[in-house]
A and B are shown apart, each in its own frame.
Chain A
């Protein structure tokens, strides 16, 4: 290292001696100890730097600057959103509204599924070439046949429906699940098809224990749920909502009943549905 190089490095040496341990300066410092001319130059440099350090600290900041900075901090502080109760309250309100909106959207989507089921079953009651697969008014036979179809046959009916005459039943597939339909003869040309599905097959909402009435595919329908099952009653012929309401009293449920007197009438009705007989007289005999 020559003298010029040593001077170059020592120009960065702080006058307070803080850089004494920095190896970057070690060689230049050592050379300054050996070279009197360099040592003199270095001493003058340190004196100049020390004077400059003192002098620059004589420059004072304006009196107002410190106060302005601290005041500015207090202006900034309220803008920190996370410390503002009002902001928190607004955020909470927004979250609640989003939750309500999400629940509403979800509910709408879920009801859409049930509505789809209701419409599909209503069409199924109309479109099937053979209305029922098992033609029997005997609840025991219906029960046994349904059990063989790998569906739960333990349905329950509202009290006033329990007196209706079954004509038969069939299994209906919907959305990858099984439901079953039981056809009931009611009065005159009136009959109703009862669809029974499992609650667990519905991903979303379905009616509660109070019947919901709706007109679906031009038919009066009523739907409700009880225990593990969802029921859908579809009126056929002139059956309207008023008629359905009359047969869906809310109090109590009863098991399926049968009567020998219904048997022939129901069998005749089944034949009627095949187009072979007039049911007017049969209905009169039955009710």
Chain B
């Protein structure tokens, strides 16, 4: 890949990758590092990708693998079925959506377990479909739907808490417990 096309690729995806990395790591420095590392991987190994239409998927998959590789503890990924989330499909409060901005959204996302945060962020980034999310995270499509459903519920709850006037939410203590 020549310099111009590489630059074009960076311009197309670096911000989305950064947002995804930030949602995973919660630290700007780590997110920058992971984004840079992803493009480094592309520069050194991206030529092996034969189907160039899958560049976006390749980049996000690589970033997610970098994140997983960097974690010290192995995380189990439970496969939630619909029966386990039915009762959580509660209505959305319109006021929450109206008051949403980038900072409040990220703060709410930080309170969600990694398990649900990754598909959720991909869903809101670059219009990833549930199938693309499944490819990126190497998950069954049904599992992606489960996590999107439950993740959105968690996000709404977190947003509702965060928008209450005067409420301070310490991130560590309010981090949602993922299913295990």
Judge whether B35 and A61 touch: CB under 8 Å: yes
List A24-74 residues whose CB lies under 8 Å from chain B: 41, 44-45, 47-49, 51-62, 64-66, 68-70, 72-73
Say whether A16 faces chain B, with CB atoms less than 8 Å apart: yes
Judge whether A51 and B19 touch: CB under 8 Å: no
Judge whether B127 and A65 touch: CB under 8 Å: no
A56 to B39, alpha carbons, bound, how many Å?
Answer: 21
Judge whether A52 and B10 touch: CB under 8 Å: no
Judge whether B36 and A65 touch: CB under 8 Å: yes
Using Cβ atoms and an 8 Å threshold, which residues of chain A touch B44? 76
Judge whether B101 and A70 touch: CB under 8 Å: no
Q: A8-B89, A65-B18, A70-B10 are in contact. Are A59 and B102 (CB under 8 A)?
A: yes
Using Cβ atoms and an 8 Å threshold, which residues of chain A touch B101? 55, 58
Judge whether A4 and B18 touch: CB under 8 Å: no
Q: A5-B82, A41-B91, A76-B44 are in contact. Are A55 and B104 (CB under 8 A)?
A: yes
Tell me the interface secondary structure of chain B in the complex.
helix
Query: Within the complex, which residue of A9, A59, A66 is in contact with B10, where a contact is CB–CB below 8 Å?
Result: A66
B6 shortest CB reach to chain A, Å: 6
Say whether A107 faces chain B, with CB atoms less than 8 Å apart: no
Using Cβ atoms and an 8 Å threshold, which residues of chain B touch A55? 100-102, 104-105
Query: Within the complex, which residue of B36, B40, B43, B152 is in contact with A11, where a contact is CB–CB below 8 Å?
Result: B152
A56 to B121, alpha carbons, bound, how many Å?
Answer: 8
> Interface-forming stretch among B48-56, B69-77, B142-150, B161-169?
B142-150
Judge whether B82 and A4 touch: CB under 8 Å: yes
Q: How large, as a class, is the contact surface on chain A?
A: 35 or more
Judge whether B7 and A70 touch: CB under 8 Å: yes
- Chain B residue nearest to A41 in the complex (CB): B91
Tell me the interface secondary structure of chain A in the complex.
helix
- Chain B residue nearest to A37 in the complex (CB): B91
Say whether A144 faces chain B, with CB atoms less than 8 Å apart: no
Judge whether B91 and A60 touch: CB under 8 Å: no
Query: Within the complex, which residue of A45, A56, A64, A72 is in contact with B102, where a contact is CB–CB below 8 Å?
Result: A56
Judge whether A44 and B92 touch: CB under 8 Å: yes
Say whether A14 faces chain B, with CB atoms less than 8 Å apart: yes
Say whether B32 faces chain A, with CB atoms less than 8 Å apart: yes
- Chain B residue nearest to A44 in the complex (CB): B92
A31 to B5, alpha carbons, bound, how many Å?
Answer: 45
Judge whether B97 and A51 touch: CB under 8 Å: yes
B126 shortest CB reach to chain A, Å: 9
B111 shortest CB reach to chain A, Å: 14
A20 to B10, alpha carbons, bound, how many Å?
Answer: 30
Judge whether B3 and A61 touch: CB under 8 Å: no
A202 shortest CB reach to chain B, Å: 50
Say whether A249 faces chain B, with CB atoms less than 8 Å apart: no
Judge whether B127 and A16 touch: CB under 8 Å: yes
Q: A55-B101, A56-B121, A59-B102 are in contact. Are A8 and B40 (CB under 8 A)?
A: no
List B23-50 residues whose CB lies under 8 Å from chain A: 28, 32, 35-36, 39-40, 43-44
Using Cβ atoms and an 8 Å threshold, which residues of chain A touch B129? 12, 14, 18-19, 22
Say whether A7 faces chain B, with CB atoms less than 8 Å apart: yes
- Chain B residue nearest to A67 in the complex (CB): B10
Query: Within the complex, which residue of A5, A9, A51, A59 is in contact with B98, where a contact is CB–CB below 8 Å?
Result: A51
Q: A8-B89, A12-B148, A56-B19 are in contact. Are A69 and B105 (CB under 8 A)?
A: no
A-B contact pairs, 20 of them (CB 8 A): A8-B149, A11-B145, A18-B127, A22-B129, A44-B91, A56-B105, A57-B125, A58-B103, A58-B105, A61-B14, A61-B32, A62-B32, A65-B35, A66-B10, A66-B14, A69-B36, A69-B39, A72-B43, A76-B43, A76-B44
